[in-house]
Amino acid sequence: MADRDLASIQEARDLVSRARAAQQEFARLNQQQVDQAVQAISKVMTAMAKDLATMAVEETGFGNAEDKTKKNLLASDKLFKRIQPLKTIGVIDEGRESKITKVAVPAGIIAALIPSTNPTSTTIYKTLISLKAGNGVVFSPHPSALRCIGRTVEIIRQVLKELNIPADLISMIEIPTLEGTAELMKQADLILATGGPAMVKAAYSSGTPALGVGPGNVPVFIEKSADIDAAVKRVMTGKTFDYGTVCSSEQAIVTEDAIVEQVKRAFVSQGGYFLEGEAAEKVKVIMKSPKGGMNAAIVGKPASELAKMAGIEVPAGTRLLLYEEKGVGPGYPFSYEKLTGLMGFYSVKDWHAAADLCLRLLKNGGLGHSLSLHSNNEEIIRHFGLNMPVSRLLVNTPSSLGAVGSTTNLDPSLTLGCGPVGGSSTSDNVGTQHLFNIRSIAYGLDQAVPQKTTTSIDIDKISALVVEQLKKMNYVPAEV
């Protein structure tokens, strides 16, 4: 074991060293050349989206290939289209009026930590945003997704070779250990951490600047002004997407007493099943790991498979298992994040009580992340937007898809910042703009900024010539 740890540490050092040499060559390219490289990788990853998704499901057992394909396409095609027009290399703003010229400077080498729940899509996403900003990347894969992440990296490296760009610009630790990952984080210039709380904490404790994200225990408030059937359809779409493996997926329904029965009927009609009595207790048993946390065996599983694991019968076509939870916190397992086909359910007196309950749920492991609201009352929407401690309020859209920029205009991203309240250094959807520094060339305000040598146009002279021509044509303008 010690030999494996040492080998992993040495591998991390070697990969960063080779990535630095490759990044120095990459830094000589101009914006157009960098964009061409990013576009080429995007096209190949788009073409490989389905194959990589299938490989990820086969290896990890999480989610389903159809939805993982969609995530791969979000990370390749949609993300590329969003970042394509951005200036990220060299001078990005001349600043004639401000007398400040801004120059983009790559962060350097990115240590990219990849989770098992979204392995190939996160690898694609981090590659594109890093290369667009002129950086190199060394990936630290989750051990249970080593093969599919490795295949993704292998394809990207082949594209780089075809473009005569050093392939070592992108690489991956092939002997993944905690010690190797820790060394990688020390050697890199910036860390992109996507994963569990322990990983993110380690990233922020490494001594290297880091962009990490917190957990997403997302409450969903269905308010009485909402179109209930449409709201429930959105929730079902969001929660069942890739069987709940997205960190922004819906975790607990909160609704009002006045519409609770209507909401419950809508869930049942769309494939929801409410757990009661012995069935509920059996499901609670499989939710716990021996150490007291969430049981990894239930992650990314459909409701039908969860029912089999628990030994209970559910109607054919059941898509989601719900439970009317009585409280929040220890002893109330459905009040926590559940990356699977399980959801808590609450009913309260009115929207004021709903806001209070949503806050309690957020404090139970989701501060700073996201909250989902289904409502047509702008006053209530504004209240939640002004007062809830989240970075994203998703209104009338599936939260799992809206937060990552699939069904909203938020930046396409698979690393969702939670801000200081959630233990993150940013509240943004992390993207290319976070991966380069800006060097400012600031001129004194009493000095003129040197102008580029260009062919100038004398507007006054041209106007005078035009007026003379008009006079010869016996047409005199009323005013020039």
Whether 346 and 332 have beta carbons less than 8 Å apart is answered as: no
Banded model confidence at residue 444, pLDDT cuts 50, 70, 90: very high
Amino acid letter, 113: L
Mean pLDDT on 185-191: 96
Residue 358 among the catalytic residues: no
Q: What DSSP designation does 451 have?
A: P
Question: What number is the average pLDDT over the span 57-78?
Answer: 97
Q: How far apart are CA 419 and CA 429, in angstroms?
A: 10
Which of 148, 247, 358, 418 is catalytic? The answer is: 247
pLDDT at 329 over 90: yes
Rounding to the nearest 10 degrees, give the CA dihedral for residues 137, 140, 146, 152.
-10
Instruction: Please report the sign of the dihedral spanned by the C-alpha atoms of residue 129, residue 131, residue 134, residue 137.
Output: positive
* Distance separating alpha carbons of residues 228 and 221, to the nearest angstrom: 11
Token pair recorded at residue 84:
């394509």
Q: Any idea which of 7-16, 67-76, 89-98, 99-108 has the lowest mean pLDDT?
A: 89-98
CA angle at residue 188 from 187 to 192, to 5 degrees?
A: 135
Long-range contacts of 14-17 (CB under 8 A, 24+ apart): 15/138, 15/168, 15/171, 15/172, 15/173, 15/184, 16/109, 16/138, 16/184, 16/187, 16/188
pLDDT bin (cut points 50, 70, 90) of residue 202 is confident
Give, for 439, the enclosing helix (H) or strand (E). Answer: strand 436-442
At 288, give phi and psi (nearest 5°).
Answer: -95, 140
H or E element at residue 106: strand 100-106
Instruction: Give the Cβ contact number of residue 350 at 10 Å.
Output: 12
What pTM, to 2 d.p., does this model score?
A: 0.89
The rounded percent of the chain whose pLDDT value lies above 70 is 92
The DSSP secondary structure of 290-348, one letter per residue, reads TTSSB-GGGTT--HHHHHHHHT----TT--EEEEE---SSTT-GGGS--SSSEEEEEEE
pLDDT at position 463: 52
Please say whether the beta carbons of 112 and 128 come within 8 A.
no
Cβ atoms of residues 304 and 316 within 8 Å: no
* pLDDT above 60: residue 478: no
List all residues 6 or more positions away from 73 whose beta carbon is below 8 Å from its beta carbon.
46, 49
Lowest mean pLDDT among 55-69, 118-132, 432-446, 451-465: 451-465
CA 5 to each of CA 150, 175, 178, 179, 208: distance values in angstroms, whole numbers, following the listed order: 19, 8, 8, 6, 21
- Average pLDDT score, the chain: 92
Compute CA 416 distance to the chain's CA centroid, rounded to the nearest angstrom. 5
Q: What is the pLDDT of residues 128-174, one digit of tens each?
A: 999 999 999 999 999 999 999 999 999 999 999 999 999 999 999 99
**Residue with the two structure tokens 């075809």:** 162
- Please, which pLDDT band fits residue 470 given cuts at 50, 70 and 90? low
Q: Which CATH number fits domain 2-213+431-437: 3.90.79.10, 1.10.10.10, 3.30.1380.10, 3.40.605.10?
A: 3.40.605.10
DSSP assignment letter at 56: H
When pLDDT is cut at 50, 70 and 90, the band that residue 194 belongs to is confident
Amino acid symbol at 442: A
Is residue 445 within 8 Å of residue 97, measured between CB atoms?
no
The whole-number pLDDT of residue 408 equals 97
Domain residue limits, the chain: 2-213+431-437, 218-410
pLDDT at 347: 98
Q: How far apart are the first and last CA of the chain?
A: 86
- With 90 as the cut, is the pLDDT of residue 205 above it? no
- As assigned by CATH, the class of the 218-410 domain is alpha beta
- Give the helix/strand (H/E) hosting 272: strand 272-274
pLDDT by residue (tens digit) across 414-438? 999 999 998 888 999 999 999 999 9
Residue count of the chain: 480
